[in-house]
Structure 1
Amino acid sequence: MYKNILVPVAFGENSDDRIRAATAVAQKLAAEGARITFMHVLEQVPGYVTNYLPADYSAQARLAIEGELNDIASVVPGGVGLVVSGHSGRTILDWAADNPVDLIVIASHRPGMQDLLLGSTAAQVVRHAHCAVHVLR
Structure 2
Amino acid sequence: MSTSILCAIDVNQLDADREVLRTAIKLARVDEARLDVITVVPDFGMSVVGGYFDKGFHDKAMAKARKMLNDFVKSEIGADANSGVRHIIATGKAYEEILHAAHEAGSDLIVIGSHKPDLRDYLLGPNAARVVRHSDCSVYVVR
Q: In the TM superposition, what are the counterparts of 1:64-103 in structure 2 within 5 Å?
A: 64-74=64-74, 76=77, 77=81, 78-103=84-109
Does structure 1 conserve the Cα–Cα contact (< 8 Å) formed by 2:8 and 2:98?
A: yes
1:16 positional shift? 2.2
Counterpart Cα distance in 1 of 2:132 and 2:121:
14
* Residue 33 (structure 1) shift: 4.0
TM-score, normalised via structure 2 length? 0.82
For these two proteins, the number of residue pairs brought into alignment is 135
Cα contact 1:74–1:80 (8 A) shared by 2? no
- Please report the RMSD computed on the Cα atoms of aligned residues, expressed in angstroms: 1.9
| Larger displacement relative to structure 2 (43-52 or 122-131) | 43-52
Q: Distance in 2 between matches of 1:32 and 1:136?
A: 18
What displacement does 1:125 show? Answer: 0.5
**Higher strand proportion, which one?**
1
Displacement, 1:86?
A: 2.1
- Aligned identity (percent) is 33
Query: Cα deviation per residue 1:85-131 (whole Å; 9 max; x = unaligned)?
Result: 22211121122122210111101123222112111100001111111
Please name the residue that 2:47 is paired with: 47
Quick check: which one's helix share is greater?
2
Evaluate the alpha carbon distance shift between residue 49 and residue 105 of structure 1 in structure 2; reply closer, same or farther with a 3 A threshold: same
Tell me the equivalent position of 2:34.
35
TM-score (normalizing by structure 1): 0.86
CA distance in 2, matches of 1:17, 1:64: 17
Q: Which runs of at least 4 in structure 1 moved beyond 4 Å after TM superposition?
A: none
Q: Unpaired segments of 5 or more residues in structure 2? A: none
